[in-house]
Structure 1
Amino acid sequence: MWASLSAGGIALMPLDKYPFSEKYGWIQDQYGLSWQLNLCHGNAKIVPSLLFVGQQNGQAEEAIHFYTSVFDNSSVGELSRYKEGEGGTPGTLNYAAFNLNGQQFAAMDSSLAHDFGFTEAISLMIECQTQNEVDYFWDKLSAGGDLNAQQCGWLKDKYGVSWQVVPSMMAEMIGDPDVKKSGRVMEAMMQMKKLDIAELRRAYESS
Structure 2
Amino acid sequence: MTAASSAKNKVCLWYEGTAEEAANFYASVFPDTRVTQVVRSPADYPDGKAGDVITVEFSVMGIECIGLNGGPIFKHSEAFSFQVETQTQEETDRYWNAIVGNGGAESMCGWCKDKWGLSWQITPKVLSDALTLPDRAAAKRAMEAMMTMRKIDIATIEAALAGASA
TM-score band, normalised by the shorter chain? Answer: 0.7 to 0.9
Gaps of 5+ in 2: none
Match of 2:153 among 192, 196, 199: 196
- Measured against aligned partners, the alpha-carbon deviations of 1:67-119 in whole angstroms (never above 9, x if no partner) come to 111113332111112244334412443222112333322111113x63x4101
User: What is aligned with 2:38?
Assistant: 79
2:28 is the counterpart of 1:65? no
User: What is aligned with 2:62?
Assistant: 102
User: What is aligned with 2:104?
Assistant: 145
Tell me the distance in 2 between the aligned counterparts of 1:109 and 1:185. 40
Check whether the contact 1:82–1:88 (CA below 8 A) recurs between aligned residues.
no
Check whether the contact 1:184–1:204 (CA below 8 A) recurs between aligned residues.
yes
- Measured against aligned partners, the alpha-carbon deviations of 1:115-168 in whole angstroms (never above 9, x if no partner) come to x41011110010001111001000001121134xx1100001111000000011
Equivalent pairs counted in the alignment come to 158
User: What is aligned with 2:13?
Assistant: 50
User: What is aligned with 1:156?
Assistant: 113
Tell me the distance in 1 between the aligned counterparts of 2:97 and 2:57. 25
Alignment-mate amino acid for residue 87 of structure 2: Q
Check whether the contact 1:138–1:194 (CA below 8 A) recurs between aligned residues.
yes
1:45 deviation in Å? Answer: 4.7
Tell me the distance in 1 between the aligned counterparts of 2:139 and 2:61. 31
- Which runs of structure 2 are paired with 1:20-39 in the superposition (5 Å)? none
Tell me the distance in 2 between the aligned counterparts of 1:170 and 1:45. 33
Alignment-mate amino acid for residue 124 of structure 1: F
Tell me the distance in 2 between the aligned counterparts of 1:48 and 1:162. 14
When the two chains are superposed, the root-mean-square deviation of aligned CA atoms in Å is: 2.0
Secondary structure of residue in 2 paired with 1:169: helix
2:127 is the counterpart of 1:170? yes
Match of 2:81 among 119, 123, 129: 123
Check whether the contact 2:19–2:55 (CA below 8 A) recurs between aligned residues.
no
Tell me the distance in 1 between the aligned counterparts of 2:94 and 2:124. 12
Return closer, same or farther for 1:73/1:81 CA change in 2, 3 Å cut-off: same
User: What is aligned with 1:184?
Assistant: 141
Instruction: Name which one, 1 or 2, has greater alpha-carbon Rg.
Output: 1
Tell me the distance in 1 between the aligned counterparts of 2:95 and 2:53. 26
Check whether the contact 2:82–2:119 (CA below 8 A) recurs between aligned residues.
yes
Secondary structure of residue in 2 paired with 1:200: helix
Structure showing the higher strand proportion among its residues: 1
User: What is aligned with 1:93?
Assistant: 53
